[in-house]
Amino acid sequence: MPQRKFLSLVSIILCLSLFGCNAYKDVSLSNDVFLSHKIWKENYDKYVYLVHDDGKTYTLDDVTVVKDSTNTKVKVLSGTSNLLVADSMTKKSKNEIKKEKRKEVHLYLTKDESREIEDGAGIELDETDIQKVTMQGRKYKGVLAVVLGIVGVFVGLILLLFVVLFIALLTNGSGGGSDSNSDPQCYVATMVYGSTESPEVLTLRRFRDQYLKPYKLGRLFIDWYYKNSPSFVARHQSNSVLTSAIKTIWDILIRVINRF
């Protein structure tokens, strides 16, 4: 069983490493590369076009393309130009701004004194009109970043487990304890689940014996738990809200424990 779980974990890491974690970054393309880009050609109508010419910026609406005879390159990009006016009234979240930037294609035109772009008029652009193009593309983070992310998640879950166990008894006063080596009752767990032999309590005992007792820090925690939990139970056993809250958290932790 441990071997199967290990192999499953390795498979997940390999799959995530293969596909990677994608972020976005600004990329600059030449006119030739852009006009022959396969993904753009197939989805050109899903982008927002901004034309930069002579210090002014225009939006290009109702875009259409004309491809060459071999269908490998766009010969003409046409649409209706509208002078861009900054909208300072509409407030947008960072996520909204990021999503909009991913759809933007910025077309920087070559200098041409004979070219006149009129607001609201049609315009046709070919390869000689476009100097460069900037847009956002996916950035591959790589295998190491993926693996470190997965390791971080597992470490975080383990730390969360100990933190929640500690918080459950944080407001305790001291009280008479029991010898942890004589397998005393799991007081708080019994208060939450109603029986010393419930499956949940047995799972917590297994976690105690397999993952806490073998280590000095774990044994110190066990001693502290059994010293303080009787007074905690005596004080809070009639508090249904607290009991329900602890049960909700421990149910999640027990599901995590049962997977190991």
Q: How many Å is the Cα radius of gyration of the chain?
A: 32
Q: Domain check: are 90 and 178 in the same one?
A: no
User: Is the confidence at residue 181, as pLDDT, over 60?
Assistant: no
Q: Domain check: are 86 and 27 in the same one?
A: yes
Q: Domain check: are 118 and 177 in the same one?
A: no
User: Is the confidence at residue 173, as pLDDT, over 70?
Assistant: no
User: Is the confidence at residue 170, as pLDDT, over 60?
Assistant: no
pLDDT band at 58 (very low <50, low <70, confident <90, very high): very high
Residue finishing a domain among 123, 140, 157 = 140
- Residue 42 inside a domain? The answer is yes
Q: Domain check: are 118 and 216 in the same one?
A: no
Q: What is the pTM of this model?
A: 0.47
User: Is the confidence at residue 183, as pLDDT, over 50?
Assistant: no
CB atoms within 10 A of CB 79: 19
Range of the domain at 229: 168-257
What type of residue sits at position 45?
A: D
- Residue 113 inside a domain? The answer is yes
Calculate mean pLDDT across residues 175-200: 64
Sign of CA dihedral 101, 105, 111, 115: negative
Chain position carrying tokens 């004194």: 113
Mean pLDDT of the chain: 76
- Residue 153 inside a domain? The answer is no
pLDDT band at 150 (very low <50, low <70, confident <90, very high): low
- Residue 2 inside a domain? The answer is no
- Residue 11 inside a domain? The answer is no
Instruction: For residue range 116-130, list pLDDT tens digits in order.
Output: 898 999 999 999 999
- Residue 130 inside a domain? The answer is yes
- Residue 14 inside a domain? The answer is no
Instruction: For residue range 12-28, list pLDDT tens digits in order.
Output: 555 554 444 456 788 88
The pLDDT assigned to 12 comes to 55
The phi and psi torsions of 217 (rounded to 5 degrees) equal -60, -40
Low-confidence winner among 10-19, 103-112, 205-214 (lowest mean pLDDT): 10-19
Q: Domain check: are 196 and 130 in the same one?
A: no
Counting the structural domains of the chain, the total is 2
Residues 6+ apart with CB under 8 A from 142: 20
pLDDT band at 228 (very low <50, low <70, confident <90, very high): confident
Instruction: For residue range 67-109, list pLDDT tens digits in order.
Output: 988 888 999 999 999 998 876 567 778 888 888 888 999 999 9
Calculate mean pLDDT across residues 149-157: 66
3-class state of residue 123 by DSSP: strand
Q: Domain check: are 134 and 40 in the same one?
A: yes
Q: Kind and range of the H or E element at 80?
A: strand 74-83
Higher-scoring residue by pLDDT: 195, 180? 195
